[in-house]
Structure 1
Amino acid sequence: MAKRREAELRQQIAMMKATEKGGPDLREIPIPPNFREIVIESYDGTQDPHTHLQAFQTQMYISSGNDRLSYKLFSGTLRCVAMHWMATLPAKSIQTFSDLASSFVSQFAANKVKRLEVSNLFDIKQAREENLKSYLACFNNATIRGLRAGPFSDALALRKPASMKEIHACVEKHVQVEEDQLERRKAERALSHKDSKRPTPAKEDKR
Structure 2
Amino acid sequence: MTALFDKIMSIRLPKEFKMLTLEYYNGTTNPVQHLEGFNSLMAFCGALGPIMCRAFPTFLWKAARTWFNRLEPKSIKAFRKLSSTFLTAFASSWSFKKTPVSMTTVKQRTDESLRSYLTMFNQVKLEVEDLDPAVEFTALLSGINDKDLNWELYKKQLDNLTELRACLEEYMNTLETLDAKFKT
> What residue number does 1:33 align with?
15
Q: Which residue among 20, 27, 30 is the counterpart of 1:45?
A: 27
Q: Which residue among 104, 107, 111 is the counterpart of 1:125?
A: 107
Contact 2:3 2:73 in 1 (8 A): yes
> What residue number does 2:154 align with?
none
Task: Give me the TM-score of the superposition, normalised by structure 2.
Answer: 0.64
1:128 and 1:37 map into 2 onto residues whose CA distance is 50
Structure-to-structure mapping, 1:1-207, within 5 angstroms:
17-20=1-4, 22-26=5-9, 28-147=10-129
Contact 1:23 1:96 in 2 (8 A): no
Whichever residue aligns with residue 126 of structure 1, its letter is Q
Q: State the Cα distance separating 1:128 from its structure 2 match.
A: 4.3
Q: 1:126 to 1:87 in 2, by over 3 A?
A: same
1:70 and 1:143 map into 2 onto residues whose CA distance is 33
Task: Give me the TM-score of the superposition, normalised by structure 1.
Answer: 0.58
Q: State the Cα distance separating 1:134 from its structure 2 match.
A: 3.2
Secondary structure at the aligned position of 1:19 is classed as: coil
Percent identity, please.
Answer: 26
Count of paired positions: 133
1:52 and 1:30 map into 2 onto residues whose CA distance is 25
The more displaced of 116-125 and 91-100 is 91-100
Q: State the Cα distance separating 1:144 from its structure 2 match.
A: 2.0
Unaligned runs of 5+ in 1: 1-16, 149-163, 169-207
Contact 1:29 1:72 in 2 (8 A): no
1:30 and 1:131 map into 2 onto residues whose CA distance is 58
Q: Deviations over 1:37-69 (max 9, x none)?
A: 232111000011111000000011111111111
Unaligned runs of 5+ in 2: 131-160, 166-184
Q: State the Cα distance separating 1:92 from its structure 2 match.
A: 3.4
Q: State the Cα distance separating 1:29 from its structure 2 match.
A: 2.6
Contact 1:36 1:63 in 2 (8 A): yes
When the two chains are superposed, the root-mean-square deviation of aligned CA atoms in Å is 2.2
Secondary structure at the aligned position of 1:102 is classed as: helix
Secondary structure at the aligned position of 1:24 is classed as: helix
Q: Deviations over 1:95-140 (max 9, x none)?
A: 1111100000000011111121111111012344443333322222
Whichever residue aligns with residue 113 of structure 1, its letter is S
Q: 1:140 to 1:68 in 2, by over 3 A?
A: same
Q: 1:103 to 1:125 in 2, by over 3 A?
A: same
